[in-house]
Chains A and B, each alone.
Chain A
Amino acid sequence: MWDWSYAAEILPDLFRALRVTVVATLLGIAMAMVLGLVLAIGRRSRRRVARAPAAAFVEFVRSTPLLVQLYFIFFVLPDLGLTLSPLTAGVIGLGLHYSAYTSEVYRAGIEGVPRGQWEAATALNFSARRTWTSVVLPQAVPAVVPALGNYLIAMFKDTPLLSAITVVELLNTAQELGSQTFRYVEPITIVGVLFLLLSLVSALLIRRLEARLAFNR
């Protein structure tokens, strides 16, 4: 039922795939954090032109499956002229999908900044840009780091979906190994354990980051 020598044999292949998983996640979360902030600020804009599309985008992305969004980016865009490599398509898919969630997180953080801060900034004649960068964001963002961190962990667990658009990450490699040797137990179980470890390590790192930010404040 479980063959330790086979398990040891496939570890190198799986570790190689682990790198792809980690790279995809880090790039994806970077994109989600930047785009999410843009969306959050856009939703608070006084101009309807910025508010409506941002809100519609967030609502739509949150209500549809990531898998189908990935298929869209990977299969439909080429027909419209844009052919992306599997990894690029995957990172963009993850980034777009999670930006909808991070924008909500940022919104909560921004709304948590006391009104008085905004008023003081206006009184001091700060430009909109300075208000955001010097007053609001430095208070809003550290408060939501834990929530953002949760999405990092969630994104790790969504990377196996990238196997459906042929990215050679952990699950894809496990499948390939399984179909070559017809032994699925070892590859898939090891992959499951690796994800558990990734979750735990990420959770630890986030808690450290949280502590540091709290200390600085």
Chain B
Amino acid sequence: MTLEAAEFTRRGLLKRTGALTVLTASGSLLSACGGDDAKPGESTLAAARRVGRMRVGFANEAPYGFANEAGELTGEAPEVARAVLKELGIKELEGVLTKFESLIPGLNARRFDIIAAGMFITPERCEQILFSDPDYVAPEAFAVKKGNPLGLQDYGSVADNAEVRLGVLAGAVEGDQAKAAGVGDSQVTRLPDPQSAIEGLRTGRIDALALTSISIRRLIETSGRGEVELAGPFVPVVDGKEQLGGGGYGFRKADKELRDAFNQKLDAMKQADALLPIVEPFGFTAEELKPAKQITAADLCKAA
């Protein structure tokens, strides 16, 4: 009868919803776990060796670490990490995409076990995580509108002109470097990702974008649309000292064993010049690799 059918539907609706909720919600919540492979008490290195795979944090910043058209993790840092980790018995890399400013918190929250994003080694960051020795160094550069109408060459020229708006990536070192060089807070715009930044430059929201010369070259090539050019490169001066940035790989403070093992293989490859063929396709040259041979993480971690 219609009445019974309708009532059954209503009751059934409640019951079915209830059961479905409990099953699906709890199932999803539990299975959505971070995917931490380590068994309790097992070190990160041992766990990765056992599973044959390590989770890598990256920030989609070409050419350091990004996902290519096919969605595969590649770039200077991931490829070098791939080579080094292979030597350690870890064949597979699983990329975990994060915002640049979330890389360190994400690492500490165990969302991944290594940061391979070409992250600069700085004293502040060294307080939060362990770094491998740097595998490259890079000067800074600006992306500016074609013709460089405002004649910007470095942070000093930005600080001299209070009307200039400088764009930096949220969480990247350029913001602090600019401040140290006397650029006013109101002049600095923090952008969430390189793409928005270059668009901001093209549409006139910012007058200059500050990143490593490598990143700028790459951005101009892929997204410049012929409207922007590179100004520089220059080496930022902080507290009177020239600060050449060096990028390395990040590990949790508890994973010293992993970091040391990584360092060992990385240093061997550095000295044997085995890195150049790996990073050349991403626009890196011997010029960026050579100085890194002599520098260790400890050098860069020391407060200036």
Known: A83-B205, A179-B101, A182-B105. A166 touches B191 (CB 8 A): yes
Residues from chain B with Cβ under 8 Å of A164 in the complex:
192
Asked if A166 contacts B104 (CB within 8 A), the reply is no
Asked if A179 contacts B170 (CB within 8 A), the reply is yes
A179 to B204, CA, bound (A): 26
Chain A contacts with B in 64-95, Cβ cutoff 8 A: 75, 78, 83, 85-86
- A118 interfacial contact with B, CB 8 Å: no
Residues from chain A with Cβ under 8 Å of B200 in the complex:
166
The interface centre, meaning the residue of A78, A83, A164, A166 with most chain B CB atoms within 10 A of its CB, is A166
- Name the residue on B nearest A183 (C-beta): B105
> Which of A75, A178, A179 has a CB less than 8 Å from the CB of B199?
A75
Asked if A176 contacts B190 (CB within 8 A), the reply is yes
Asked if B203 contacts A83 (CB within 8 A), the reply is yes
- B184 interfacial contact with A, CB 8 Å: no
Asked if A78 contacts B199 (CB within 8 A), the reply is yes
Residues from chain A with Cβ under 8 Å of B203 in the complex:
78, 83
Asked if B170 contacts A184 (CB within 8 A), the reply is no
A166 to B169, CA, bound (A): 11
> Which of B104, B170, B189, B205 has a CB less than 8 Å from the CB of A182?
B104
Q: How many residues of chain B have a CB within 8 Å of chain A?
A: 18
- Name the residue on B nearest A79 (C-beta): B203
Residues from chain A with Cβ under 8 Å of B105 in the complex:
178, 182, 184
Chain A interface, >50% SS class = helix
Known: A83-B205, A179-B171. A166 touches B199 (CB 8 A): no
- B148 interfacial contact with A, CB 8 Å: no
Asked if B170 contacts A175 (CB within 8 A), the reply is yes
Asked if A166 contacts B190 (CB within 8 A), the reply is yes
Asked if B192 contacts A176 (CB within 8 A), the reply is no
Residues from chain B with Cβ under 8 Å of A182 in the complex:
104-105, 128
Chain A contacts with B in 92-138, Cβ cutoff 8 A: none
Residues from chain A with Cβ under 8 Å of B192 in the complex:
164, 166
Chain B contacts with A in 202-224, Cβ cutoff 8 A: 202-205
> Which of A78, A83, A86, A175 has a CB less than 8 Å from the CB of B101?
A175
Closest chain-A Cβ to B94's Cβ sits at a distance in Å of: 24
- Name the residue on B nearest A75 (C-beta): B199
A75 to B199, CA, bound (A): 8
Known: A166-B190, A184-B105. A176 touches B199 (CB 8 A): no
A175 to B170, CA, bound (A): 9
Residues from chain B with Cβ under 8 Å of A166 in the complex:
189-192, 196, 200
A187 to B171, CA, bound (A): 16
A182 to B250, CA, bound (A): 15
- Name the residue on A nearest B100 (C-beta): A179
Q: Contact string, A152-176, partner B, CB cutoff 8 A, digits 1/0? A: 0000000000001010000010011
A175 to B105, CA, bound (A): 12
Closest chain-A Cβ to B281's Cβ sits at a distance in Å of: 30
> Which of A75, A83, A86, A176 has a CB less than 8 Å from the CB of B170?
A176
Residues from chain B with Cβ under 8 Å of A175 in the complex:
101, 170
Closest chain-A Cβ to B128's Cβ sits at a distance in Å of: 5
The interface centre, meaning the residue of B104, B105, B202, B203 with most chain A CB atoms within 10 A of its CB, is B203
A161 to B45, CA, bound (A): 39
A78 to B196, CA, bound (A): 12
Residues from chain B with Cβ under 8 Å of A86 in the complex:
205
Given contacts A75-B196, A172-B190, A179-B171, 12 further A-B contacts (CB under 8 A): A75-B199, A78-B199, A83-B203, A85-B205, A164-B192, A166-B191, A166-B192, A166-B196, A178-B101, A178-B105, A179-B102, A184-B105
| Chain B interface (Cβ < 8 Å from any Cβ of A) | 101-102, 104-105, 128, 170-171, 189-192, 196, 199-200, 202-205
Q: List 28 A-B contacts (CB under 8 A).
A: A75-B199, A78-B202, A78-B203, A83-B203, A83-B204, A83-B205, A85-B205, A86-B205, A164-B192, A166-B189, A166-B190, A166-B191, A166-B192, A172-B190, A175-B101, A175-B170, A176-B170, A176-B190, A178-B101, A178-B105, A179-B101, A179-B102, A179-B170, A180-B171, A182-B104, A182-B105, A182-B128, A184-B105
| Chain A interface (Cβ < 8 Å from any Cβ of B) | 75, 78, 83, 85-86, 164, 166, 172, 175-176, 178-180, 182, 184
